[in-house]
Structure 1
Amino acid sequence: MTAPHLDVHLSPDAAEQALRRDALVGLTAEPKWLPPKWFYDDRGSELFEEITALPEYYPTRTERALLAEHAGAVAAATGADTLVELGSGSSEKTRLLLDAMQEQGTLRRYVPQDVSRSALAAATAEVAAEYPGVQVQGVVGDFTADLEALPRGNRRMIAFLGGTLGNLVPAERTAFLAAVRAALVDGEHLLLGVGLVTDPQVLVPAYDDAAGVTAEFNRNVLHVLNRELGANFDVDAFEHVAVWDAEQEWIEMRLQATRAMRVHVAELDLDVSFAAGEQLRTEVSAKFRLEGVQAELAAVGLEVAGTWTDPDQRFALLLARAT
């Protein structure tokens, strides 16, 4: 077995500074907000894995079914020998792509990138054990800032799965897709998994499950602020809210204060007031129409070479080539 290697481009100090910056900007904004990447400490990563198995949360199983059916076609179309995965998490669905590339006889290297060093260390060890002879090179980093740190060479396919593109608002999406294109050499590929606009009666429960796992996941960001920034949020005093914004065509996850309160964030020397009923936005999850996402890809020089959707038209995989 080839031992996995971790390249660290997001040091604990850099992560702390980014959290301080985001918390200061978001908690002093009107309305208040926080970026969703701070959900994913060790506990948050565990909770998200639980969410992906919930009956209401269709995106993961739908995307997995699409990958199971079409990974062979993707591998054949790209001829890629290196799979780069952004926001890889546990790399569970990735095995379908790795298997297809291995069957194609091209697989040489797997490069997962994630902000969570612990999740990445576990995933790289597992993949290295399962795919002896494959070079596994993990990159600890933020996909919105560290794409230039991705190793180059060979024939790469970047995979960005799970509908995570929807966590970026339109201006952020444009910048991110442009950065992906800049990271790719002409002829290399991006495999993108996106949620599609569908019935809100299906969408909303996926982000507000009956068991309350998503609510715990949402509130976990307050535990992160308490632990990392010396804040004194009363976590139980915030309710989980998930709403569909029909105009923007995205789900918003929010935390709603159940009473008026004043929160002190010691590391920022900041006092934050919440009125009863005031909401803190913690995540946007945009859903797409195929023609819209194809246009966004084309605008940055990524030509769609293949599109696959499930029978209910709830999720799509798009394979785009750098031109």
Structure 2
Amino acid sequence: MQLKQLAVMVSGVILTQVSLSAGALNIVLSNDDGYTSNLKAIYAKLTEDGHNVIASVPCQNQSGKGGSINFSDTLTTLTEACLNDAAPAGAPAFGEVNGEENIYYVNGTPIMSLMYGLDVVAPQVWGANPKIDLVISGANEGQNVGSIVNSSGTVGNAQFALSRGIPAVAISADANTTNNDELAAEVALLTSKIIKDLESKVDSQGRLLPEGYGLNINYPMFEAGDRALELPWKVTQFGTFNAYNLKFTVNQNGSANIGFDISSTATEDQANDESVAYQKGFVTFTMMQHGFEGNAAAKEWLKVYMNDVSSKTDAQ
């Protein structure tokens, strides 16, 4: 199923969509893995498509950092080279990647690198108070599905963009795309198609996505020559099924680490969970809202609860 064929339902209201002619978008591209094959391929493809793209990524792999920000750190110079020689030791802690135009690095967390792109680079490239049409976080080297998204730097970047009112998508591919230029090219083609579909179906206000909402998109594992553009697409939910059950493990030698168990059996009620669908070969699309605010029904429950427990409550 193609994204442009979907009627997006948010809070019980179907958003009317209208077709507008596609044009050049201002896109900020980031991730939590750093200067990777996926990042380079997506940047090149979206630029080839005619979009205005800047990329800003962590100097080192920062997977699992979620919404982390190093408030107390002063960024000075690099003590070691960035991933894939994006910058050498001794270089400034943030700046343009070696030999690249409009691709930048930051010696910090994923959100710090995205903030650099939004707050510093975008105004330098596109002028003061630029209109940013879309933030793309990814494509990650490994899927972000189920409850693991709570610690995902990829999804954390998308959430940060949504907090600023910027449409955002988090995109994750399989771990086999790591340092694999051939697979990264397929990832880029698939990403380009998704952006074109988003452009072709926007809401009545000209937005690529409903206000306050973003997409968590996961690509299933595929091999070179599998023609990723022909993979089936499916609308999913985060759900409760987790392919990877994270746990804190204490080892016999007294050390500890975060490990995981692999789950393989889902219940009938979990059939539409993204962790199940991507394992069946689907490109999964899960709608996510910004932040943690409850829906209308939950808010009404809270008003009733507060009125019952306290005569001093202002439950407006």
TM-score normalized by the length of structure 1:
0.35
Q: Which is bigger in relative contact order (C-alpha 8 A, separation at least 6)? A: 1
Higher helix share: 1
TM-score normalized by the length of structure 2:
0.36
